[in-house]
Structure 1
Amino acid sequence: MSRFPHVRIGDDVRAQEQLLSEHCGIETLQLVVGGSMGAQQTYEWMVRFPGRVKRAAPIAGTAQNTPHDFLFTKALVEAITSDPGFKDGEYSSNADVVDGLKRHAGIWAVMGFSTEFWKQEVWRALEFDSKEAFMEGFLEPYFTAMDPNDLLCMAWKWQRGDVARHTGGDLAEALGRNEAVTRIVPINEDMFFPVRDHEYELELTPHATIRVIDDLLGHLALFGVAPTYIGQVDRYLQELLGEDV
């Protein structure tokens, strides 16, 4: 796995398109939707195949990765690769890299959840009696079960998500290709993809409006554990699907 080639968001979308067109016979998509890196894929669909996407809803993710998120992801990578058990990617199992994966989880705790999540002790609603118990009982097991090289593959892809690769670096030109009726959907407490980053891309995206999800969890509201999160997503998607295209 350490020698697995780098892949990009565009590679994901090319594979999806090939599956849909060649194996399922589907040429027109009524809605493309995804969260986080799924939002990056949604933007890729909008720009790469504009005439085939009727509606689009990127949730908590941007069309062009930001310098902040590039540096954050670099820290996530180094948390794993600095573990001696990583052995340049030639470990025997994820258990060999458990210390690095725990550090990886700790960084996610700082940025994946909002400051208000920790300040208001929202983890108590998830039936944990301390922030340490939440880390040990939820976030650390979530990440230590994962394959380190797989996480690094996704991190490299996330860092380089950028639809402007299609237009020589011109983001406005790339997003200007969009023909889909679009809802850009940030999460108000997201520390990776703040609302202002979505608002900037909104101004460059034809046929787009914005709807903001209110959730104290921040980016990891995408886990869908808050009782109000799914209802907001459903409402915005139903609204979008009700529009004529």
Structure 2
Amino acid sequence: METGESGPSDSSWQAAVGQGGGLLRSVGIGSLELEAGGSLPSVTMAYECWGTLNAAGSNAVLIQHALTGSTHVSRGDSEENGWWEGLVGPGEVIDTDQYFVVCANMLGGCYGTTGPSSIAGDGAPYGSRFPFVTIRDSVHAEARLADQLGITSWHAVIGGSMGGARALEWAVTFPERVRRCAVVAACAASTAEQIAFAQAQVLAIRQDPNFANGDYYDGAAPTLGLGLARRIAHITYRSEAEMGTRFGRNSQAGENPISHGRLRIDGGSPVQERYQVESYLDHQARKLVGRFDANSYIVITEALMSHDVGRGRGTLEEALARTAGVEFLVAAVNSDRLYFPAQSEELAAALPGSVEVRRIDSAIGHDGFLTEVGAVGELLREQFFTD
């Protein structure tokens, strides 16, 4: 769909608010002024939706994806399982016979929403010209999307990790439009350690010889840098105990890491001899490189580095005071070493009223918010989706 001020056509509007789902759609929301200055002259928002919007526009649920996540929360009418499969659908915790569920690709992404790989007005990809965007900018863009879809208020806004940052920002920026907010494995502001991990990932990409200052779209992509960034990130997503139990010091099958130079010659080419955990990280890197844009990784990572729900709003308590009418679910993964449970406690303590931090019991680490779908679903059912 062409970007611009107009909303979906009549046919796509009916498809967007009617039954079915799990298919990527897009709509233009016009120009967008940015928090750090400057603007994007024409923005397209990509999203998927499931269920039917009621006449009042009030039965909608917004699910926010994580850093490299997509809009594909649930299979719906598609053939591919979603990243929270089993949570959204007819008869599921978020029952699409009752609720209209939306998941939008974050501003700066590479799954359909305007980002660095999008074509600018001069016919070339934005590349290095794409501006700095924040979590707050994406929330403003998502509010425009909600307007286009006819959503007056959200029954709930739900997110984990970076999605939790976006959910929290929604509740603070538009408290009159959010009745419930779930912040899972996330915090009120990125910490120094989180920023440090993120900087290492961003530099891994920028120092790739193929990065070309972000203008690589007519040549080789910086896949080595993106793969290294993913390895760094994935170490923080999994716990030491999980990696120790799963891999230990075991060698990859057929490989011997205790060898000269850790290389062997196979068919005339050098092959690295690896531990199992190294092979696992290599696999995670290959998967991401095959589906994600390096520039978008930088843009979204730097947006998450900038996450601070209190920026320009006084103390954290003063910033969160405006959410007095919003019901919160704050949950932490007990083995998370990227977003520590103590950060969830800090957020809950600063929220109006009395908010208890719920725990997701998982040895996985941070990724437990994705792998423990049943546990996340039970928390949501208990607090937000009871009959």
Query: Is TM more than 0.5 here?
Result: yes
Equivalent in the alignment of 2:364: 217
**CA apart distance, 1:49:** 1.3
Residues 79 and 172 from structure 1, CA distance in 2 versus in 1: closer, same or farther, beyond 3 angstroms?
A: same
Q: If each structure's strand is expressed as a fraction of its own residues, which one has the higher value?
A: 2
Q: What is the distance in 1 between the residues matched to 2:357 and 2:386?
A: 15
Distance 1:242 1:94 in 2: 49
Q: Which deviations, in whole Å up to 9, do the C-alpha atoms of 1:123-145 show, x marking residues without a partner?
A: 9xxxx9732332233x1122222
**1:171 counterpart = 2:307:** no
- Among candidates 221, 236, 240, match of residue 379 of structure 2: 236
TM-score, normalized by length of structure 1?
0.88
Distance 2:369 2:247 in 1: 15
Tell me the C-alpha RMSD between the 2 structures: 2.1
* CA–CA distance in structure 2, aligned partners of residues 209 and 50 of structure 1: 20
Cα 1:94–1:143, aligned 2, differ >3 Å: closer, same or farther? Answer: farther
Aligned pair in 2 of structure 1 residues 216, 95: CA closer, same or farther (>3 Å)?
farther
- Identical-pair percentage: 30
Asked whether the 8 Å contact 2:132–2:299 carries over to 1, the reply is: yes
| Counterparts in 2 of 1:94 and 1:185: CA distance versus 1, 3 Å | farther
Match of 1:62 in 2: 187
- Between the aligned partners of 2:240 and 2:299, the Cα distance in structure 1 is 28
Q: Provide the secondary structure at the position in 1 that maps to 2:188.
A: coil
The structure having more radius of gyration, on CA atoms, is: 2
Is the contact between residue 64 and residue 161 of structure 1 (CA under 8 Å) also seen in structure 2?
yes
Please show how residues 43-192 of structure 1 align to structure 2 within 5 Å. Answer: 43-92=168-217, 95-121=220-246, 130-137=276-283, 139-145=284-290, 146-168=292-314, 170-178=315-323, 179-192=325-338
In structure 1, list runs of 5 or more residues that go unmatched: none
Structure 2 equivalent of residue 37 of structure 1: 162
Gaps of 5+ in 2: 1-126, 254-275
Deviation at 1:110, TM superposition (A): 2.1
- Aligned residue identity for 2:376: V
1:202 matched to 2:345: no
Query: Residue deviations 1:109-129, cap 9 Å, x none?
Result: 321211112111179xxxx97
* Alignment coverage as a number of residue pairs: 233
The match for 2:144 is 18
Correspondence 1:9 to 2:135: yes
Inter-partner Cα distance in structure 1 for 2:240 and 2:130: 36
Bigger share in helix: 1
Normalised by the length of structure 2, the TM-score is: 0.57
2-side partners of 1:8 and 1:40: how far apart? 11
Partner Cα separation in structure 1 for residue 286 and residue 310 of structure 2: 36
Higher relative contact order (CA 8 A, sep 6+): 1
- 1:184 is paired with a residue of what secondary structure? strand
CA contact (8 A) 2:360 2:369 kept: no
* In structure 2, C-alpha distance between the alignment counterparts of 1:187 and 1:177, rounded to whole Å: 27
